[in-house]
Amino acid sequence: MRSRIHSNLLGIQNTPTISAGKKFQLDDLIEAQQFDREILADIFEVAREMEKVEKNSPGSQVLKGYLMATLFYEPSTRTRLSFESAMKRLGGEVLTTENAREFSSAAKGETLEDTIRTVEGYSDIIVMRHFESGAAKRAAATTEVPVINAGDGPGQHPTQALLDVYTIDREIGKLDGIKVALVGDLANGRTVRSLAYLLAKYQDVKIYLVSPDVVKMKDDIKDYLTSKGVEWEESADLMEVASKCDVLYQTRIQRERFGERIDLYEEARGKYIVDHDVLNAMQDHAVVMHPLPRLDEITVDVDADPRAAYFRQAKNGLYIRMALLKLLLVGW
Amino acid sequence: MRSRIHSNLLGIQNTPTISAGKKFQLDDLIEAQQFDREILADIFEVAREMEKVEKNSPGSQVLKGYLMATLFYEPSTRTRLSFESAMKRLGGEVLTTENAREFSSAAKGETLEDTIRTVEGYSDIIVMRHFESGAAKRAAATTEVPVINAGDGPGQHPTQALLDVYTIDREIGKLDGIKVALVGDLANGRTVRSLAYLLAKYQDVKIYLVSPDVVKMKDDIKDYLTSKGVEWEESADLMEVASKCDVLYQTRIQRERFGERIDLYEEARGKYIVDHDVLNAMQDHAVVMHPLPRLDEITVDVDADPRAAYFRQAKNGLYIRMALLKLLLVGW
Amino acid sequence: MRSRIHSNLLGIQNTPTISAGKKFQLDDLIEAQQFDREILADIFEVAREMEKVEKNSPGSQVLKGYLMATLFYEPSTRTRLSFESAMKRLGGEVLTTENAREFSSAAKGETLEDTIRTVEGYSDIIVMRHFESGAAKRAAATTEVPVINAGDGPGQHPTQALLDVYTIDREIGKLDGIKVALVGDLANGRTVRSLAYLLAKYQDVKIYLVSPDVVKMKDDIKDYLTSKGVEWEESADLMEVASKCDVLYQTRIQRERFGERIDLYEEARGKYIVDHDVLNAMQDHAVVMHPLPRLDEITVDVDADPRAAYFRQAKNGLYIRMALLKLLLVGW
């Protein structure tokens, strides 16, 4: 939709949001920052309802007759299946493009705008993954049909950010006053950057940054946190941070960021592993999160501990996407 | 289905058609020429009904329980999504093969006939795209299940031809007496060739042919038009033609036809662009059409003009395919 | 599911099976050998019911609200479409991954177990094809959701084995006392190996083995048959075997097994062709079967003979898979 609501990534201080009244319908989902904390609370309330949708319950047909197009210009099986499952759990239908970049008219030189104008004729909502930052915003500006950004290159992946915050709320029971350790690749991880932005909407948040030197959090996020009054500190001591935080958010060191420097990759990768010792240092109520996929940055023996929240976190992605599809298609 | 109705591309003069009574069921859709103008009018009447199918309206469940297999031996995301949307808008279900050539048993040497005999066991209708001319006819001769040709290489793409004629009828309000300019790659464009064949079924049609010398319309079509009493003329003056025609049908110059001769491609490509000046020369009731995808043969500033009909044309493809699926599966 | 029922391929003599009472629900389908003949009979009874499921009949909605994930790490269009058709014929829905190996998180190094833990959150049953023997068993040990093995590399392809036995029962009317000729690539064909294991569950079975020397049946199967009291003999005379057997099960010689030795492949390939002469030697009640795809190991002129059962066999795959999906999701 020609959006009334989404913000500019570079002008976050002036983010417009939609009215947070109880009755509302979202237009598009382009950036996590487009929402204020009241809207987030409302979305989370709908997501909680979605946890109760069962086969053949009335809720399971709320999107009957609606058609979602998943337009993926780069593959992401996990995200695609999560959206398609969400749509089908609510009785809706799906048109799939697993590799729009290679297969579609894009290969013949068609613009994104023309593709969107065609696909909007076939569907009621478009879920788009693209390799270019800003692609989702361009799509939303082109069509009256709601657009969900399922990741646009180095840009945003707002449903991931929402499910992360929802998971913290579900696991810890609060967002104000939360202590979150962000661990691993903080320079390139779009996930931790978005999460930092969203956490800044809450009161008395403390963020610990734990990462190898080559992939430290960039200054723009640190400055943003400071400007919002969020306390943060960098640390090299994972055990100490683990003993203090409510949430330990681990991420994968991405090999593809290191090019030829395999040596640097190997060094960075082995530095902060969440294993049984780290778990032992953590508080009883604290949890380990991870956006998945993981390699060995969380050892497998952690999985059985009830504080290992990452598979519940993946499942929460389903509820968040169900909530968003409902809010975008039929409203509150 | 072992077809009673489809014609031979080389023996068009003797095309058999099905009875044009009000109650009928189509067997297969192989070639645009298989229909006479009465059948076309009936199909268009059903397509008009399809424009009114809404979510949860009775019409939206007319194909409930039916299963369509999309068997695409070459990728065409646009055409595939259009058919799948059509099927799902009517309550039907879909089995998808996005790249049958690479993935299927065809890679192990199975014949098309054997593949069809297997797929007919899984579905109620087969929509097939193939790289070989005549493949759809071979498929239809193999199976009792209806087959729709969604393009067979240099051969036919009959649903495109039908939606083009439907769009002319919808936009201009008539087909007899229509003046149509075919512009661009007339030598290789399967679309304009099929459209010329179909237009020959109507009275007092005038066709203008405007193309770079290297991609002029071939003699077989010109001879066919002459034999059918269709007036046609070639012109190098796009502005003059634009001022006279009811429909300006622009097409893309296909780079892949020029091999190493990029120079010839670039020269041909820039020759006849539809821009604001061309639009200004056109009559108020006239429209610009294009099968899409377009590159720059229609400039983007034309899009906002109400006479730019190409995105409505793409949407009409949905209604035509809904109509055909209904007529092939449950009849009139 | 953490399975109570599946057996170890190397410890077949002690295969545990589930209780064969009339009321039961299967947990997973990993290996053909996991079933005893009573369970097989029950599955076949449900498959017979499935032959009667029509559009809009009550049976056609038995899996409404259920979601199947097809997770294919190697492509197999035929098997995938068969499962997806089965699910949709029963009113269920499908999430598809046509090429999980290339597209999924597996490319980033995620373990199969982690992928399964994510996908189980999106779906009610997982149909998995994998390139590694034992992958399905690992998946089933990871998740509470039922897993169906749709082929795991050189390992098992149990739904193929079940549909083969079902077809023999349907075509010949019995399994005890049956005479089956296995022809072609008996060394590498996973199909004939599984079939041999299953046939050993029946009384007075006689198996003829007819194959080129380079692809003879391996000793493990022969020893197994002997240990189970199944009579078998090797023969080089296809005509004589054809005159004696109830079922002639032909298979494709797989070129990819011969590497550079195209000469050996060509020699093996042409040796035992089922043509009209072989058909003439066969008894009136006997049938020709083939797992498909075929090349020229059965000549096309055989297709029209009523004893050519291979396309009916493919269709039986649909009924068997419908039965299994029902038994795994909602029970007897």
Among the partner-chain residues A95, A105, A109, the one whose CB lies closest to the CB of B84 is A95
More confident residue, C155 or B296: B296
Segment C129-138 shows an average pLDDT of 94
For residue A100, the chain B residues in CB contact (below 8 A) are: 77
Task: Count Cβ–Cβ pairs < 8 Å, chain B vs chain C.
Answer: 62
What pLDDT does A87 receive? 98
DSSP A243-254: HH-SEEEE----
User: Of C177, C232, C191, C243, whose CA–CA distance to C208 is shortest?
Assistant: C232
| Residue A153, pLDDT score | 84
What's the pLDDT band for C13 if we cut at 50, 70, 90?
Answer: very low
Cis status of the peptide bond prior to B293, with omega within 30 of 0: yes
Chain segment A157-175, per-residue pLDDT in tens: 999 999 999 999 999 999 9
Q: Which residue of A has its CA nearest to C102?
A: A75
pLDDT at A188: 86
Contact B118 C77 (CB under 8 A): no
Q: Which residues of chain B have pLDDT under 50?
A: 1-21
Q: Inform me whether the pLDDT recorded for A19 exceeds 60.
A: no
Question: Which residue, among C62, C71, C95, would best test binding to A if mutated, counting the most A CBs under 10 Å from its CB?
Answer: C95
Q: Which of A292-306, B31-45, C105-119 comes out lowest in average pLDDT? A: C105-119
A182-231, pLDDT tens digit by residue?
A: 999 999 888 898 899 999 999 999 999 999 999 999 999 999 999 999 99
Confidence of residue C102 (pLDDT cuts 50, 70, 90): low
pLDDT tier for residue A1 given thresholds of 50, 70 and 90: very low
CA-wise closest residue to C181 among C209, C161, C214, C157: C209
List residues of B with catalytic annotation.
Answer: 78-79, 108, 129, 157
- pLDDT given for residue B99 in this prediction: 72
Question: Does residue C3 carry a pLDDT above 90?
Answer: no
Q: Please, are residues B67 and B119 in contact by the beta-carbon 8 Å criterion?
A: no
d(CA C117, CA C120): 5
Q: Could you say which of B81, B99, B311 has the minimum Cβ distance to residue A69?
A: B81
pLDDT of B307: 98
CA distances from B124 to A69, B116, B148, B325, C62 (A): 24, 12, 12, 11, 20
Per-residue model confidence (pLDDT) at position C74: 86
Which pLDDT does position A106 carry in this prediction? Answer: 66
Residue ranges of E strands in A153-226? 179-183, 206-210
pLDDT, mean of residues A262-281: 93
> What share of chain A has pLDDT > 70, as a percent?
91
- What's the rounded Cα separation, in Å, for the pair C247 and C306? 13
Q: Do A55 and C69 touch (CB under 8 A)?
A: no
- Average of per-residue pLDDT values in chain A: 89
> Tell me, what's the pLDDT at B23?
61
Q: Which two tokens stand for residue C279?
A: 């058909």
pLDDT level of residue A16 (50, 70, 90 thresholds): very low
- Amino acid C105: pLDDT: 64
Tokens matching residue A240: 């100490």
The whole-model pTM stands at 0.92
Which tokens hold the place of C100? 């999980």
CA distance C22 to chain B (A): 29
Q: Contact, B211 vs B185, CB < 8 A?
A: yes
Q: List all residues 6 or more positions away from B324 whose beta carbon is below 8 Å from its beta carbon.
A: B26, B29, B43, B148, B159, B162
Residues 80-119 of C with CB under 8 A from B: 81-82, 84-85, 88-89, 96, 98-99
The answer to whether B67 faces chain A, any CB pair under 8 Å, is no
Chain C: closest CA distance from residue B315 (Å): 27
**Annotated catalytic residue A37:** no
What digits encode the pLDDT tens for the residues C35-89? 899 999 999 999 999 999 988 888 899 999 999 999 999 888 899 999 999 999 9
Classify residue C108 by burial, with Cβ atoms within 10 Å: 0-12, 13-18, 19+.
middle
Q: At residue A15, does pLDDT exceed 60? A: no
- The pLDDT-based confidence of A20 (bands split at 50, 70, 90) is very low
- Assign A97 a pLDDT band (cuts: 50, 70, 90): confident
- Please state, as a whole number, how many other Cβ atoms lie within 10 Å of the Cβ of residue C330: 12
pLDDT of residue A13: 34
The pLDDT score that the predictor gives to residue A147 is 98
Q: How far is CA A31 from CA A5, A194, B17, C319, in A?
A: 10, 9, 55, 47
Instruction: Check pLDDT > 80 for residue C211.
Output: yes
C4 against B230, higher pLDDT:
B230
DSSP notation for B183-219 = ES-TTT-HHHHHHHHHHTTSSS-EEEEE--GGGPPPH
Q: Catalogue the active-site residues of C.
A: 78-79, 108, 129, 157
| pLDDT per position as a tens digit, C167-188 | 999 999 999 999 999 999 999 8
Does C104 have pLDDT greater than 70?
Answer: no
Q: What span, in angstroms and rounded, lies between the C-alpha atoms of A221 and A227?
A: 10
Contact present, A103 and A151 (Cβ < 8 Å): no
Q: For residues A95 and B81, is the Cβ–Cβ distance under 8 A?
A: yes
Rounded Cα–Cα distance for residues C115 and B85 (Å) = 30
Question: Are B91 and B124 a contacting pair, CB within 8 Å?
Answer: no
Per the model's pLDDT, the better-predicted residue between B3 and A140 turns out to be A140
Mean pLDDT of chain C: 89
CA distances from A7 to A141, A325, B164, C95 (A): 13, 20, 40, 33
CA A197 to CA A195: how far, in whole Å?
Answer: 5
Which of the 8 DSSP states describes residue B16?
Answer: -
d(CA A246, CA A69) in angstroms, rounded, equals 38
A271 is catalytic: no
pLDDT interval class at A32 (50, 70, 90): confident
